[in-house]
Each structure stands twice: as C-alpha cells, then as structure tokens.
C-alpha cells in the first residue's frame, strides 16, 4: 500500500480523495479475502452502498466510513487524527529545573501527632 504514500492530497479534488478512500477500503477488503457482502454485513450497511463507495461512485458519511474501518479492523488508520498537546522544549526544560533532585539534608523527621477525628 505504499502507493498511497506518494499521493499529494493537497492538490486532489474532494471527489478524487473520496475515490482513493474507496480504493483503500476495497484493497483492504481484498487483502483480507472478504466479499463485499461479508464486509457490508459486518459494517451494518448495504452491499450496494459498499460497491458504489469502492467504485468511487458514491460518497459515504463519516459514520459509514468508521463502520467500514471497524469491520476491517483498521481503526488504527485514524491515529493521525489523535491530537496531543505539544509542550515546547524550553517550557519542558524549565519544568525539569524546578523538580527536586534530592532530599534536604539535616532536617529531622518529626512524627505528626495522630488526630482524634
């Protein structure tokens, strides 16, 4: 599937992107040796909807695409959408400087009196 890595998505039309996603689903289905009916049933959609989607003749909703990816066990392909807050290296360095490096010397440990509460 390295073919998909060479696509310049920025210059593709929405229709072309939808067609390529349909091809991705079709190739994934065929690699798993599953029929359209098997995948459609597992995803909870009609076989004709899957057929039109794979052929690039029909756009599907995001929910349908998620159902297809789940049925193909390819939800991990959505990992790129997982946004994590990024911390700047300078802020990280400042926070590390503030961390205690060792315990204080010479302070006796005073036991705390037990409360009657």
Domains along the chain with CATH numbers: 2-78 (1.10.260.40)
Q: What φ, ψ does residue 112 adopt, rounded to 5°?
A: -80, 135
Quote the pLDDT of residue 2. 44
- Weakly modelled stretches of the chain, pLDDT under 70: 1-5, 104, 106-109, 117
Quote the pLDDT of residue 108. 67
Quote the pLDDT of residue 23. 93
Its pTM stands at 0.64
N- to C-terminal Cα distance for the chain? 67
């Amino acid at each position: 599937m390295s073919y998909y890595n060479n696509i310049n998505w920025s210059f593709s039309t929405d229709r072309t992107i939808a067609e390529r996603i349909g091809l991705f689903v079709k190739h994934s289905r065929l690699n798993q040796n599953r029929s359209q009916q098997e995948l459609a049933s597992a995803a909870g959609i009609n076989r004709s909807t899957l057929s039109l989607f794979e052929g690039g003749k029909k756009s599907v909703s995001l929910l349908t695409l998620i159902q297809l990816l789940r049925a193909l066990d390819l939800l991990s392909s959505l990992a790129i959408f997982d946004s994590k807050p990024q911390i700047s290296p300078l802020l990280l360095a400042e926070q590390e400087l503030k961390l205690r490096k060792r315990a204080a010397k010479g302070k006796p440990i005073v036991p705390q009196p037990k409360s009657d509460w």
